[in-house]
Structure 1
């Protein structure tokens, strides 16, 4: 079983100092150096528009300033465990989500307004009135529940997620991670466990068990980034340990971890690199794989 050495950790920290966005450097300082979470909250707030939504490339492949649902999701991940239930930034985001919700309560994958912004080629809206989608409604709702937020949008959004999950059987990797984020955090634990058991074979199949699988795949570590994650039960100790070893092996010579998806413009290489490097460090820490 491999561990990230002190020198390798120092190299990752240097990579973040040299290449990562301010918000991810502050997130690293909060997670590993005891820096106050308020600094992270302030940095995330800089991405929030006056309408309450988030833009300005908080999701690096959405380069425009306009608010998008995926921006709200990224913001919620960044302040997870930091923002309080009555945090004005979160409540304003909920107001924006409510204003852009479909009739069934969720929000679309991307709004048509994205056509006015620079973006990666895969960010295309599904028509002029796109339907709600589990990605990103499910993780947004789940994270808001975890924060303890009370807002009128959250009830209909949660019901949309339950209905959409009940109607699904075959699951891709992105939807699997969205569903797991929701099921881990939604208050109705009995219903969440029942859906997890029903879908566990499909959720497991969404992960690439071969650590050498090429292309843009998601590993068991992506679905279960912490040992207390719901998806941890989908994989054996040997499977998780193999993929954690590969995470350590995948550290680049510059100290960071690189994305396995298309980098369509140069700036996103390090913006995603910083985000992913911090995620890898937090996972290795959670599994006790960093030398102390």
Structure 2
């Protein structure tokens, strides 16, 4: 079994110092150097908009200033990492989501306003976008995890349950991630377990893509994502993840960069994520 030692962690720290966004440097300091949480929350504030949503390239492939649904996921994740689930920003995010939710209770993946800003070519919006399990499942799951009680959560949770019970065509890889986040955190645990039992094989069949692998769906031992893979698959993926650290100390991403800044930004994010995964599985040693 391979492990990443302090020398590898130090190389990652230097990579982030040279290349990472401030917010990812703050995350690294919090998780791996005993740093305080407040600087991470402060760094996140710079991405927030008056409507309660987030933009300003918090999602690196969306370079515009205006709010979009997916950056709200990043914000909720970073607030959670900082132990700030009770921060007023959580309620502001839910309020923003209420303002963009479709009639079926779901949130669109991307809003038409993306067309007016620089963005990766794969971010395409319909003229009248409808709600999708991605990102509604992720957003609802994260807000449930935060203990939020905003009125947005009721219809959004109903939207997710209806999706799971409809048994429609197989989900895409990002849909799988959204479903897993929802099931991991929705309060009705008996219903979540029953739903996972029904859809487990479908999720497992779609838990991969040209740039996503085992550990993207099972980043920690707990949670439903881990139950999609056998032990050998996870252990093999962890060994490969350690081997994938570059000589410069960072990890790369397997999707294209459409403008020069996005690759280092994504690499910094991925480096912190990969280190968190290695630690979660006991593969990070001092």
TM-score where L is the length of structure 2: 0.96
Q: Answer yes or no: is the 8 Å Cα contact 2:79–2:85 preserved in 1.
A: no
Q: Is the 8 A contact 1:169 1:199 kept in 2?
A: no
Tell me the CA shift for residue 123 of structure 1: 0.9
Gaps of 5+ in 1: 209-214
Residue number in structure 2 paired with 1:226: 220
Task: Specify the SS of the correspondent of 1:59.
Answer: coil
Structure 1 position 10, deviation (Å): 1.1
CA RMSD of aligned residues (A): 1.3
Residue ranges of structure 2 left out of the alignment (5+ in a row): none
Cα separation, 2, equivalents of 1:32 and 1:263: 28
* Partners of 2:170 and 2:96 in 1: CA distance: 31
- In 1, Cα distance between equivalents of 2:11 and 2:87: 35
In structure 2, distance between residues paired with 1:197 and 1:277: 33
Question: 2:231 — aligned with what?
Answer: 237
Q: Which residue of 2 aligns with 1:112?
A: 112
Task: Tell me the residue number matched to 1:212.
Answer: none
The normalised TM-score by structure 1 is: 0.94
Question: What aligned pairs does 1:41-56 form with structure 2 within 5 A after superposition?
Answer: 41-56=41-56
Q: Summarize the alignment of residues 273-292 of structure 1 with structure 2, pairs less than 5 Å apart.
A: 273-292=267-286
Q: Which residue of 1 aligns with 2:139?
A: 140
Q: Residue 8 of structure 2 corresponds to which residue in structure 1?
A: 8
In the aligned structure 2, how far is the partner of 1:116 from the partner of 1:84?
33
1:17 paired residue number = 17
TM-superposed deviation, 1:81: 4.0
Q: Is the 8 A contact 1:106 1:137 kept in 2?
A: yes
> In structure 2, do the counterparts of structure 1 residues 125 and 13 end up closer, same or farther at CA, with 3 Å as the change threshold?
same
Cα offset, 1:263, TM superposition: 0.7
Q: How far 1:40 moved relative to its partner?
A: 1.1
- SS of the residue 2:113 aligns to: helix
SS at match of 2:80: coil
Matched, 1:39 2:39: yes
Equivalent residue, structure 1, for 2:185: 185
Q: Does 1:160 align with 2:154?
A: no
Single out whichever of 159-168 and 117-126 deviates more from structure 2: 159-168
Give the corresponding residue for 1:211.
none
Deviations 1:212-253 (A, max 9, x none): xxx733211111100112221221111100000010111111
How big is the shift at 1:179? 0.5
**Distance in structure 2 (CA, Å) of the matches to 1:11 and 1:131:** 44
Instruction: Check the 8 A contact 1:3/1:289 in 2, yes or no.
Output: yes
Pair 10,182 (structure 1): closer, same or farther in 2 beyond 3 Å: same
Matched length: 285
Rounded to whole Å, the distance in 2 between the matches of 1:6 and 1:51 is: 42
1:246 partnered with 2:240: yes
- Deviation of 1:171 (Å): 2.3
Q: Is the 8 A contact 2:54 2:66 kept in 1?
A: yes
Q: Deviations over 1:183-240 (max 9, x none)?
A: 00000111111111111111112234xxxxxx73321111110011222122111110
Segment of structure 1 superposing worse, 131-140 or 166-175: 166-175
